């Protein structure tokens, strides 16, 4: 049975066309879908709301290890679920504890109040996430330009593995080449 959605040929084409690891996210709610994406060549698969289901999470971590990324989408310190439409009863810190205890290797943390705003990342929240867990972190939300990438790098935490720069790229306020050069320079210095 094919567990990929009808809208996924574009993602498959991207995976096949590029020579960089691809991380797939959005609407992934089953172990079969994670397996299908990894089998299709994705390096990582991001799971959001379902990652809060402890039984599902336990099996996903056991089967997919570092291929699994758990999304923690938060607004004002509370985890949001169902495509950011509902607030859960979990604080960000509680969710991080659950994910860490389950053995999740890395998380994608999005401050949804900043996502797409180009207002800069929520540095206090990112620092709190780094302090609250030993997991790798991909930061998301608010990046407006190269200065924000440099600011995130200046945190100096090796667990900060990446940053999502979507709208900044689309708006032209950040050139990918410049961001990659800054990151490469930081890697050489460390």
Question: Residue 137's domain is classified under what CATH number?
Answer: 3.20.20.70
Q: Which domain holds residue 13?
A: 9-189
How many domains does the chain fold into?
1
Q: Report if residue 68 sits inside a domain.
A: yes
Q: Is residue 3 part of a domain?
A: no
Residue pair 120/128 in contact by the 8 Å Cβ criterion: no
Maximum Cα interatomic distance, the chain, rounded to a whole number of Å: 48
Residue 15's CB is within 10 A of a number of other CB atoms, namely 17
pLDDT tens over the chain, length 190 residues: 444 565 588 889 999 999 999 999 988 999 999 999 999 999 999 999 899 999 999 999 999 999 999 999 998 888 887 665 656 778 999 999 999 999 999 999 999 888 777 889 999 999 999 999 999 999 999 999 999 999 999 999 999 999 999 899 999 999 999 999 999 887 666 6
109 part of a folded domain = yes
- In whole angstroms, give the CA distance from residue 46 to residue 23: 7
**Do the beta carbons of residue 104 and residue 68 sit within 8 Å?**
yes
Residue 2 lies in a domain: no
Q: Taken in order 30, 37, 98, 87, is the CA torsion positive or negative?
A: negative
Question: Is residue 168 assigned to a domain?
Answer: yes
Dig out the tokens for 171 from the structure: 């708006």
Cα separation of 106 and 70, whole Å?
Answer: 7
Residue 1 forms part of a structural domain: no
DSSP 8-class letter at 19: S
Is residue 28 a contact partner of residue 34, using CB atoms and an 8 Å limit?
yes
The whole-model pTM stands at: 0.90
Instruction: Classify residue 45: in a domain, yes or no.
Output: yes
Task: For 148-158, write each residue's pLDDT tens digit.
Answer: 999 999 999 99
88 within some domain: yes
């Amino acid at each position: 049975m094919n567990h990929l959605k009808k809208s996924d040929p574009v993602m498959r084409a991207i995976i096949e066309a590029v020579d960089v690891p691809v991380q797939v996210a959005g609407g992934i709610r089953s172990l079969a879908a994670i397996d299908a994406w990894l089998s299709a060549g994705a390096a990582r698969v991001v799971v959001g709301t379902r990652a809060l289901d402890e039984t599902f999470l336990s099996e996903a971590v056991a089967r997919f290890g570092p291929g699994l990324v758990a999304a923690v989408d938060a607004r004002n310190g509370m985890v949001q679920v169902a495509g950011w439409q509902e607030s859960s009863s979990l604080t960000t810190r509680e969710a991080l504890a659950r994910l860490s205890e389950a053995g999740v290797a890395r998380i994608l943390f999005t401050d949804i109040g900043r996502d797409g705003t180009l207002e800069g990342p929520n540095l206090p929240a990112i620092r709190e996430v780094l302090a609250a867990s030993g997991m790798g972190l991909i930061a998301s939300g608010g990046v407006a330009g190269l200065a924000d990438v440099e600011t995130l790098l200046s945190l100096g935490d090796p667990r900060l593995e990446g940053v999502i720069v979507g709208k900044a790229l689309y708006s032209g306020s950040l050139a990918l080449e410049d961001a990659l050069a800054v990151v490469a320079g930081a890697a050489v210095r460390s």
